[in-house]
Each structure stands twice: as structure tokens, then as C-alpha cells.
Structure 1
């Protein structure tokens, strides 16, 4: 399996993407294609003792700036490391693409270079978030589409359900619509109009409205919303995770007694912190495109990149794109029958 990684994307490029690629070759058994300025990439690898076994470079001399207009990826920056990598994925020269670069540019590239699965109106970002009892829920959409129509939320449900089932292994995962109350009359026009459509989706286990407070308690497996709400949920969750982790650490470091207690629970506390660490997840898939595209966190280190590559590998092995395509086809067939 060949995974393409944007060697110049992210705050810590090119060093950390290279380290992550080398770790992925060693631990995951994949071949890596790294896009970027080849001379710079080779020099970085040499200076830092990074082995290049199983790694191929493809020269892409430019980098799209974070502040650039996302659509400039298609013309002005068509030779940048991100655009070159996604064109290769689209042409079948690699099985998946990973980048920690601009989210907006990555969405544009995924939509117009890798291209949408037939029938998908808009790709969406799916983000796994830890919940009570060692579980995770998938937030979809986590920020790609701020303005949505009701039909788009139904596709997010189909795509998110397919991804969750393939990656987590849960058959018929519980799908909930994020809302301000459980009653069917709650929410804006978008939620009220989307709810009956979600109830009638073929093959989807829809459980109704879910309030935000129930998400970390395991209220559903796939939480559906527009990207505006989703990004607020995601950023608030990240902030609360940092706050809780810091507050617990302060309590444990107060005095000798609490420090001794901290030593006794060090392994358990470490495991808890690990569940909140984005580096363990690696990244967020862009759902609804023909090949796996993974958005890694902008500040990803080698471990985060390796886990993003692991995520891309799982998407390929379990044919997430094929499952989404089949789900969207079922949805469209059911809609034609109901006309």
C-alpha cells in the first residue's frame, strides 16, 4: 500500500512529516510517497538521521500559505506539495493522502482534484471524539460546511455511519442529530426539517435529537450537524480537555500527600490523558471523496503523522469510500421510490 503525505504541510514540516513517514514504513508496513521540495526534504532527512527505506520523494517546489485563498490551490499553487499529492492520489499513484496543511485548501483539493463520490453533495469532516466508557463518537460535519440544507445532513449521517461501522466495527451505529432539546419540534428550521428526513433514511439507525451535554456521555455513535455547530462542539471539547487535564494535575501536585497519590495512579492517569490526545487519533477524514484524504492537526509531530497514516491505511483496507458510495446509492434509490 502506498500512502502519500504532504511533506511541507503543518507547523513542524518538513521534519515531523518525514519522521512520521519513516515510523509508518517501519511499524505499519506501508510505502510512503512524500511531496515537497526534494532537495530540502533530503537535506532534512540527512541532517536528522531519518532512514529513507520505503520512502519516495516527488518534487513539488511550492507550499500553499495558510492565509492563501483555498481555491488558489487549483491554479496559482497547482504545483504546491498539497496539490501535487492530491493529483497523484486521484490518478491512482497512491492509495490515500495525508496533510497537516490548510484545511480550506485541503477541502478544495479533495472536492475538485480527488473528486466527490457520485451522488455526494458536499464532503464533510468527520472527527472522532472520546466519550464515557472508553468509547468514541464521530462528529460530522466538524467544520467543512457552515451553511447546510436538510438533505446535506442526511448525507452526513450516511457517510458518518459508514465510516464508524467500518473503522470502529459497530454494526448500525446510533446516529443522533445535535439539537437544543430531544423534542422533535426543537431547533432551527434546519434541524426541524432534517429530522423527518433522517428518520426515513434506509439502513441508518437514527435515534433522534441529541443534546450536546449527552455527547461525551455516549448519547450516540455518530453526531450529525452543520459545520458551524460542529466546529464549535469540537473546539469547546478541545478546550475543556485541556482545562480538565490541567485542573487534575494541579490537584495532584498540591502537596506531598497528593503527589504520593499521583504516583499510585500515574499509569491510569496517563491512559486517561492519552484518550484526550489528538496525536493518538492522528487526524480527521474528509468523507465523501473517492480516495481517503486525512487532515492532520496543524501542530502534528511524528507520532501524530504516523497515526494519521495508520488511519489512512485503515480507510483503504476497509474500503470506507466504497461503503459510503453504497450508502449514498441506497439513499438515492429510496428517494426515487418515494417520489
Structure 2
């Protein structure tokens, strides 16, 4: 795999340089064609690189000792976009010094910097945060938006559906991913006006590389009965946090149950293969790497608490999107829909109300 190099914000995340460099090194071992631009404090990065000699020759360091704080407001972070490791990693994508950027830092700041530097694609009003959510089936489900936009109209939701389907075609290889809108019920009469309008537009659309299958309720997100779930960022972020919390609850419940008595410990030894499989499936590091879709460039958000394995997975997500040219795929799908037709349809519905 020959790709443009990937800019890594080495200062982001809960543990910063050590884990970010270790994650890049792991990704490099898996794919020896990967090249990196490591952005952050040179001395700290060089210290970390000393433990990963295989990464040294594949990396360039861009020195920067200014870091975006985890609790820093996006408006404050934007003022230091030219001096922080996060801002410089995104700026490298803008100016062609890197093909993609990966950061485990402040999500709001990363979105603000990415949107300002890279701008949204023609035909896209707002970028959306998309991630892979584990399911009972062999394939994860693509879900968006997970927090970039608190309020969305029907037009935004239709655009999210197009972007999510393009992402699903890349990661799963489907020709026409099954798309559903997150709603409080599956009946056609349920939901807000925005959801109703978006459903009508997706039903009427022709030529798109997706299959619209109506609505899905939150308790079915992990069933694997669809390939893409679309929602606004407010609802999506709540759903994501609920899923993550439920996964931790199940893990902790099993740990407490198996350590409660000698008989439980024996039972754990007997059932260990099954519990290890469950632990692997629930481990967020195995699904790490949320993507800002709809920008003129690839930016991937790693979870702040991700391990080196999680960071490596985020890097691989960025590489996959570069290899399959996600931006061009979204542009082609928008052209199939007909941007003018979507705009006129939305305006007509608004006027009717």
C-alpha cells in the first residue's frame, strides 16, 4: 500500500506522546509502506522513537510544544491553530504535507480546526462524525453524526446518509449499503418533521449507491440489521455514550461475578474462551477511529483513552480512506443525487410549511 504520509498529533490523548508513537509504530509494523509526520515536542518524540527503531526511518518530526487542552473550548483552541500540535497536523493536510491527520485530542477543537482549515466539500453543508459500532453480525455498523452537529435539518440528514453509505462501501465493500434513520419507532408516521422529510427524500432518490430501509430504534443499533445509521449529533452522541456505558457495565458485571467465590473462579476458567471473545468484541480499541466526513481532506479522531492498538487502528482507518479516496466517492454520490434537485426539494417543503 503506497500512500501519502499520515500526520499524527503526537501530543493528543490521555497519555500523549508515548502511546501515539507506539500506535504509529504498531501500524507501521502491520503495513510497512506507511509514512508519518509526527507533530509535537521533538525531544519527547525522539525519546519515544528510541523504543521503535522501525518507525524512525519512516517518520519526520514537526516540532511543536503547544498542546490543545482536553477541556479547552473550540473557540479558544482556534486562536492557537497555527501553534498547537493538533492545528499543525491538520494544517499539514491542508498544504499537502500529509494526506490525512490523526489526533486523540479535544474533539470539539479538532472539528473546529479541521472545518476552518479544510472547509466542507461542495454540496455538503456540515461535516459529520462517523464511527464503526460493533454488532452481533460479522460487520460493524457505520453511525453518524456522533456529536459534530447538535441540530440537523432534513437536508443535513440526507447528506449524512450519502456520506455514511460511501464510508460503508469502503470499509465493508458493499455496493448499496442498507441505510436507516434513527427514530423513536419504525412506523412511517413516527418522528420529527426533519426525520419525515429526510425519509421522503431518501425514498424518492434514484441512482444512489445505497438502499434506504426506513427507520431503526436505538435498541436495534447493535443488531446488525443495517449497514448505516443516520441521526443528528445530539442524539447520536447520547446513543454512543449509552452503548459505551453498557459495554463497560457488562464487562464489570462479569468481572465481579467471576471473582465473587471460588466456584465462580472455577466457572471463569471453564468459560474463559467465551469471555475472552466477549471482551475482545466489547473492547473500544478494536473499533477506534472516528472520521470527520464531508471535509476536503481526511481527519480521524482517536479516542482519548485509546491504547497503542487503538491508535494503530485509527491510523489504519485514515490509510484506508486515503487509499479508497473517500472524498471523491462522496462527491460522485452527491452528483448522482443532483444537488440542485435536493436544494429545490428542501426549499419547496419549507415553503409549504
Say yes or no: TM over 0.5: yes
Supply the distance in 2 between the matched residues of 1:32 and 1:200 (Cα, whole angstroms).
Answer: 44
Q: Is the 8 A contact 1:63 1:77 kept in 2?
A: no
The alpha-carbon deviation at position 181 of structure 1 amounts to 0.9
2:30 aligned with 1:27: yes
Deviations 1:17-64, CA, capped at 9 Å, x for gaps: 111112222222201110012123223444xx2322312101123112
Supply the distance in 1 between the matched residues of 2:333 and 2:225 (Cα, whole angstroms).
Answer: 23
2:52 maps to 50
Q: Which portions of structure 1, spanning 4 or more consecutive aligned residues, are displaced by more than 4 angstroms? A: 336-339
2:256 aligned with 1:253: no
Supply the distance in 2 between the matched residues of 1:74 and 1:146 (Cα, whole angstroms).
Answer: 20
Q: Structure 2: which 5+ residue stretches go unaligned?
A: 346-353
2:139 aligned with 1:152: no
Q: Structure 1: which 5+ residue stretches go unaligned?
A: none
The correspondence of residues 272-287 of structure 1 with structure 2, limited to 5 A, is: 272-287=278-293
Supply the distance in 1 between the matched residues of 2:177 and 2:243 (Cα, whole angstroms).
Answer: 22
Q: Is the 8 A contact 1:282 1:309 kept in 2?
A: no
2:11 aligned with 1:8: yes
2:275 aligned counterpart, secondary structure: helix
The alpha-carbon deviation at position 137 of structure 1 amounts to 1.1
TM-score, normalised with respect to structure 1 = 0.93
The alpha-carbon deviation at position 120 of structure 1 amounts to 0.9
2:119 aligned with 1:119: no
Q: Give the counterpart of 1:205 among 200, 204, 211.
A: 211
2:222 aligned counterpart, secondary structure: coil
Q: Give the counterpart of 2:90 among 61, 86, 92.
A: 86
Between 129-138 and 70-79, the greater mean CA deviation after superposition: 70-79
- CA-based RMSD of the aligned residues comes to 1.9
1:128 maps to 132
Supply the distance in 2 between the matched residues of 1:219 and 1:336 (Cα, whole angstroms).
Answer: 28
Between 205-214 and 192-201, the greater mean CA deviation after superposition: 192-201
1:95 maps to 99
Give the number of equivalent residue pairs: 337
The correspondence of residues 318-337 of structure 1 with structure 2, limited to 5 A, is: 318-333=324-339, 335=341
Cα distance 1:241–1:31, how it changes in 2: closer, same or farther (>3 A)? Answer: same
The alpha-carbon deviation at position 224 of structure 1 amounts to 0.6
The alpha-carbon deviation at position 334 of structure 1 amounts to 7.1
1:265 aligned counterpart, secondary structure: helix
Q: Is the 8 A contact 1:274 1:280 kept in 2?
A: yes
Deviations 1:263-314, CA, capped at 9 Å, x for gaps: 2332332122112111112210111112221100011221111111111111
